[in-house]
Amino acid sequence: MTHHIIFEGAELSGKSWIMSQIYDFLESKYHESDSLLDGCYWFNCDVGVFGTDKGKAVIKNYVSIFKTLQEKNIIVEKFHLADKIYSRLYRQKRVGYRLLEKRLQKLNFKIVLVVFPEDENIIRQRLEDRIKLYPHYRRIAKEPSFYIAQQKLYLKKIKRSKLPYLIIEADELPSEKYREDILDWLGEE
């Protein structure tokens, strides 16, 4: 069984941790090589591009890569929903991805939307943890209310997506409890 999954969600939602759990399962189960990690390919797509005027072109190129790898498991950290939301928040631009979603449908992509409790104390703690791990994040850090507003946009946009989706409420991190929900949804044992 091959899986193509996009993990979306506001910053600080816990996407990376949850993805690591799914990656570990898929890579372990589906690897073919004893020398390469070839059971699942992980793409961290947002490296400062989403929300810029280059986002759409970069996403189009990623889809070409995904088509090349369509026989393999693929997990993607942030993608077209992130670009839509970042473009709106940071450039006040609306970016459409209707045709791209059709291409993603043909490649059997699904979305896991990771959300956090709308509790400013939890968000402050996650932000503090993020800055300890990635000190450069301090430059773009925002108030908790910003991340809550960002999450509300994700919840609105996911309902308009043509791709199948699952919403995971990540109320505690790290935790392995989300892994089973996602694997069940994917039809994995």
Q: Residue 52 has which token pair?
A: 């810029």
- 149 in a structural domain: yes
Give the C-alpha separation, 169 to 150, whole Å.
15
Domain span holding position 147:
4-183
Whether residue 189 lies inside any domain: the answer is no
Residue 25 lies in a domain: yes
> In total, how many domains does the chain have?
1
Q: How many angstroms separate the Cα of 130 from the Cα of each of 43, 134, 135?
A: 20, 6, 8
In the chain, the largest separation of any two C-alpha atoms, in whole Å, equals: 48
Helix (H, G, I), strand (E, B) or coil at 46: coil
Residue 162 DSSP class: S
Q: What is the CATH number of the domain that holds 111?
A: 3.40.50.300
pLDDT digit string (tens) for the chain, length 189 residues: 899 999 999 999 999 999 999 999 999 999 999 999 999 999 997 778 999 999 999 999 999 999 999 999 999 999 999 999 999 999 999 999 999 999 999 999 999 999 999 999 999 999 999 999 999 999 999 999 999 999 999 999 999 999 999 999 999 888 888 999 999 999 997
